[in-house]
Amino acid sequence: MPDYTNSNLTIISSEVTPGAIRWRSPSNIALVKYWGKHGNQLPSNPSVSFTLDGAATDTTLHYAVRKESGEGVDVQLFLDGEPNAGFTSRTKGFLEKILPIYPFLKQLSLVIKTSNSFPHSAGIASSASGMSALVMCLVSLEEVLFEPFADRTAFLAKASYLSRLGSGSACRSVYGGAAVWGELSALEGSSDEYAVSVTDNLHSVFQDYHDDILLISRSEKSVSSRAGHGLMEGNPYAPARYAQARQRTDEMLSVLQSGNVERFGEILESEALTLHALMMASNPPYMLLRPNTLQCIERIHEWRQATGHPLYFTLDAGPNLHLLYPHSIAAAAKAFIREQLLYFCEDKMYLADRVGKGPEQLEVSE
Ligand code: DP6
């Protein structure tokens, strides 16, 4: 178990000149879902995801020595150039939570400028990309103020650990390709406290896999993921679900290695439907699927049966469908989306995405 608590990470104010650090970090799509948590952001089951490429958050962290010491962390957050009170308070809460790990945060004044590559209200989870982008900036800042990490693995493990404390799924976004979060006996180095990369074992067919995101509805979700995780506590199916997810993560890892796109798709769709079945079986019950989600699912099944093409869907905790398929069928898949599915999407929109390479540090532009 890593213990990143470190009271020595404090600065000598006169030695720090103001600066800025910028990272772009992507969202990820879970193949086997994290749903249910305990303790301090620990998952009730292991999960595995593909990191995306296009759907990402671009964050610049500006820092300077704080003039007057005060309570808590001094931070202001701008979303798309506008001050954002909601995100500022959420970010402040997160930075204060990690003060035992990064006590220097209290000695600085921070301004965070962030923007997403996807439309603001696209209904796409931004917590994974947003939290991981911020944390990549923070871990880079640690290197600027103190010592460089021994290697990239150590840097990313800490980034993943800190991201997890902000939002569980974010811990998988610090790696490109595919990542596993949660301890698995078959996967050396795996942990409930941070994710690990499984990209080295990824079959070539998955390395440039497509994920086209159908924007079925842009409305705010009626129940947040946070509340949804909480409802797993009283869910009578929870113990069976946790055992199933563990077994499926194991199987998914061998599928990712073997390149079996059909078995991949069977697990993928069952995971999506199981996630939503768990919501419907919660107390109180709730449903995030929309009629148009079901319309699309039916057409996906029909099209797959008619063409034999391995295009499968998954869902996050919302109504939008992610369509995953190999590059070899991209032309047919895109024609299918345009001709049969866009009709069911709000504003006739979808986002074309792919498996990506993970976070990237950028030049500071302002
Ligand atoms: C359905 O990571 O958003 O997307 O830890 O409370 O921030 P918090 O939850 P979050 O939950 C994501 C749930 C999911 C499945 C997944 O990404 O594994």
Domain ranges of the chain: 13-202, 204-354
CA distances from 250 to 169, 183, 254 (A): 18, 11, 7
Give me the amino acid identity at 80. Answer: D
Going by the DSSP 8-state scheme, the letter that residue 173 receives in this structure is T
Q: Which of 29, 213, 225 to mutate to test the pocket of ligand 1 (most atoms within 8 A of CB)?
A: 225
Same fold, 13-202 and 204-354: no
The answer to whether residues 17 and 214 touch, using CB atoms and an 8 Å cutoff, is no
Rounded to an integer, what distance in angstroms lies between the CA atom of residue 110 and that of residue 59? Answer: 12
> Which residues line ligand 1 at a C-beta cut-off of 6 Å?
30, 33-35, 47, 125, 127, 167-169, 225-226, 229, 275, 316-317
C-alpha to C-alpha distances, 349 to 30, 212, 304, nearest whole angstrom = 22, 10, 22
Cα 49 to its chain centre, rounded Å, is 8
Ligand 1 atom, smallest distance to 170 CA: 2
Q: How far apart are CA 172 and CA 188, in angstroms?
A: 16
Residue 195 Cα to ligand 1 middle (Å): 14
Q: Which two tokens stand for residue 99?
A: 């003060």
Which residue's CA lies nearest to atom 6 of ligand 1? 226
For residue 1, the model assigns a pLDDT of 74
Query: How far, in Å, from the CA of 322 to the mean position of ligand 1?
Result: 15
Ligand 1 centre from 43 Cα, in Å?
A: 10
Distance of CA 8 to the CA centre of its chain: 31
| CA of 315, closest atom in ligand 1 | 1
The pLDDT value recorded for residue 223 is: 85
Task: Check residue 65 and report its DSSP letter.
Answer: E
Contacts 24+ apart (CB under 8 A), 233-241: 233/36, 234/282, 234/283, 235/36, 235/278, 235/281, 235/282, 235/283, 236/281, 237/277, 237/278, 237/281, 238/36, 238/44, 238/278, 241/35, 241/36, 241/45, 241/274, 241/278
The tokens describing 121, both together, are 């209200």
Superfamily of domain 204-354: GHMP kinase, C-terminal domain (3.30.70.890)
Ligand 1 geometric centre to CA of 88 (Å): 21
Distance in Å, CA 150 to ligand 1 centroid? 30
User: What pTM did the predictor assign?
Assistant: 0.97
At the topology level of CATH, where does 13-202 sit?
A: Ribosomal Protein S5; domain 2 (3.30.230)
Task: Provide block-wise average pLDDT over 10 residues at a time, the chain (366 residues).
Answer: 91 90 98 97 98 97 92 95 94 98 97 88 75 98 97 97 98 98 96 98 97 90 88 96 98 98 98 98 96 98 98 95 98 98 94 97 89
